[in-house]
Structure 1
Amino acid sequence: MRKRKPKKREILPDPKFGDMVVTKFVNNLMESGKKSIAYSIFYSALERAEEKLRKDDPTISGLEIFKKALANVTPAVEVKSRRVGGANFQVPTEVRPERKQSLAMKWLILYARRRNERTMMDKLANEIIAASKGEGAAVKKKDDTHRMAEANKAFSHFRF
């Protein structure tokens, strides 16, 4: 590289929980720069998820549900295409911690948007609940990614 690496931008923790992960999630959720709308969608989705899971565990908080969902969606390995001798190989590689987190957030949001509920709050709440239980489309995406890496383990010597 000719230039030095760009500095990481500092992000401020969110106003309600004081958590940087929540701010990153809301930044991914945001469309057209409407951050206040993204915050309201996220907070109300957490409240709905908390209400639905209160019957099982009365002490659980929305933030705990969200953290558990994010942990269940976070991938450990992924496959990257490498061209070796005229052929393309899917080479399994470990995922950097920042990328793990961003992939998990993007998958949660993507599959929440694809759900069939009425509002984005309902979609996000139900996807977070499903992910915290270890089911749902985002967790399936992580499992598929891991399965793909496992199937292509023979090409891991092309990693460089």
Structure 2
Amino acid sequence: MSRRGAAEKKTAKSDPIYRNRLVNMLINRILKHGKKSLAYKIFYRAVQKIRQKTEKNPLLVLREAISKVTPQLAVKARRKSGLTQQVPIAIKSPRGKVLAIRWVLAAARKRPGRNMAFKLSSELVDASKGRGDAIRKREETHRMAEANQALAYLR
């Protein structure tokens, strides 16, 4: 059955405690093997650790971290006459937010140790201060896009 017109946009639900969509998006990305209650526990423990470390509102720290990690540019591989070229493209806000969440969680998982709540809280605090692996990933992506700026006409 064909769809006529644009597909409906899905809106993310908000989590039960903070009533925040960004929190729900993060919890859904933490989720592994369908264990959502474990993902909630990890996130809420990380929030408590952020509150202890920074003595700020943890949602502000989270929002600041995600906004600092959100990329503005990315590269997309395009094949042209047998060659693969990295073409820089501008990223819209929802896609950038999804990439930022993915990078923060990947950086947190790479940290040493077994306590995911501690690793996540450390990565979020570092990202909000402008350092850490997630920030490095964003800068690397921007550098690659800037280096291939000559191919921007292929968009």
SS in 1 for 2:61: helix
Superposed CA RMSD in Å reads 1.3
Look up the SS of the partner of 1:42 in the other structure: helix
Deviations 1:17-41 (A, max 9, x none): 1111110110011011111111111
- What is residue 134 of structure 1 aligned with on the other side? 130
Q: Partner residue of 2:29?
A: 28
Name the structure 2 match of 1:65: 61
Unpaired runs of at least 5, structure 1: 55-59
Distance in 2 (alpha carbons) for counterparts of 1:11 and 1:69: 19
Give SS of 1:82's match: strand
What is the Cα deviation at residue 6 of structure 1?
4.2
TM-score by length of 2: 0.93
Deviation at 1:117, TM superposition (A): 2.7
In 2, distance between residues paired with 1:11 and 1:147? 31
- Matched letter for residue 28 of structure 1: R
User: Is it true that 1:114 corresponds to 2:110 in the alignment?
Assistant: yes
SS at match of 1:80: strand
Structure 2 residue identity aligned to 1:47: Q
Structure 2 runs not aligned, ≥5 long: none
Identity %: 39
- Does the CA contact (< 8 Å) of 1:72 and 1:134 recur in 2? yes
Aligned residues: 153
